[in-house]
Amino acid sequence: MAVDLSPIDESLLAEIANIHGMPKGAFNIRKDGKLVERHSSANIEIATKTDNPGIDIRIKAGTKGETVYIPVIVTQAGLKDVVYNTFYIEDDCDVTIIAGCGIHNKSHQASEHDGIHTFYCGKNSHVKYVEKHYGEGTGTGERILNPVTNVIMEENSSCEMELTQLRGVSSTVRDTNAELGAGAKLVLTEKLLTHDDQVATSNMKVELKGDDSSVQVISRSVAQDNSKQIFNPLVIGEAQCRGHVQCDAIIMGKANVTAIPGIEAASEDALLVHEAAIGKIAGDQIVKLMTLGLTEEEAEQEILEDFLN
């Protein structure tokens, strides 16, 4: 092991990737810009990039039922960590990729991680990608996470992306871009929680380039206290395709949420729909749970957890 893990490190890994000890199979664990440990499998090769900080992950054609872990943790005050990870998923695969970043900051200096992930999904392959972001620490320094996710999907490929921001992230700008070929299907789910004075901006652009391609964008968020959220999802239909964008947000305290779902048709055969809803927790929901023995605070938390799950 190139870098030792502390109890704080282990707690962060459990929070963002459900890792307890070293995982089985292929994995790459990064801490404060340095490699902790790496392991490739017979079908999944992980190698250090030669042009940028980061790794190349190559998944052989026909690989099925395997999971690769690539979590990042940041505990060094004042660090700005930038990493470029590229996934080459060959044809006829069915794999799961677990990513995410956890920041522990107990200083007055900002800590930041910017992860740029690019996925090339081969023909007939299915990819499930799970990413969680989380921040903690008693310091006043910001915990900043700015992820960029690029997805290029070939014919008849499918991808499920679950992008989640848990508590503690001071500031984030999230950019997600996807290009879908013929028959490709993408389900993109984003869940965000902000509180205190946190700010979150989410930009999405999905281009449906091939016939029979489809995308479902689901955005669910909770904005508490004085936090601010901005959502800019855009789906562009350039062929016979289907797209649906749904943005739902719960607003609490003096928070501010702006949702601007967009659709753009460049083909008469594109079928695109968008919708957005922002509101507070319904009082009758809280009352109903309180009749079951929960306090008002417990009832509120139960509703929020159910909404974001």
Q: Domain residue spans in the chain?
A: 7-280
Check residue 111 and give its pLDDT.
Answer: 97
Q: Taking the model in full, what pTM does it have?
A: 0.93
Cα–Cα distance measured from residue 175 to residue 155, given in angstroms and rounded to the nearest whole number: 24
Cα–Cα distance measured from residue 101 to residue 72, given in angstroms and rounded to the nearest whole number: 5
> Which pLDDT tens digit goes with each residue over 236-292?
999 999 999 999 999 999 999 999 999 999 999 999 999 988 888 777 777 776 777
Rg (CA), the chain: 20
| CB neighbour list of residue 50: distance below 8 Å, 6 or more residues apart | none
| CB neighbour list of residue 185: distance below 8 Å, 6 or more residues apart | 157, 158, 159, 213, 214, 215
Instruction: Give the model's confidence band at 2: pLDDT under 50 very low, under 70 low, under 90 confident, else very high.
Output: low
Q: What are phi and psi of 187, to 5 degrees?
A: -115, 115
Neighbours of 269 (CB within 10 A): 12
Mean pLDDT of 51-59: 96
Neighbours of 217 (CB within 10 A): 25
Check residue 223 and give its pLDDT.
Answer: 94
Q: What are phi and psi of 155, to 5 degrees?
A: -55, 125
Check residue 230 and give its pLDDT.
Answer: 96
Q: Any idea how long the chain is?
A: 309
> Which pLDDT tens digit goes with each residue over 142-195?
999 999 999 999 999 999 999 999 899 999 999 999 999 999 999 999 999 999
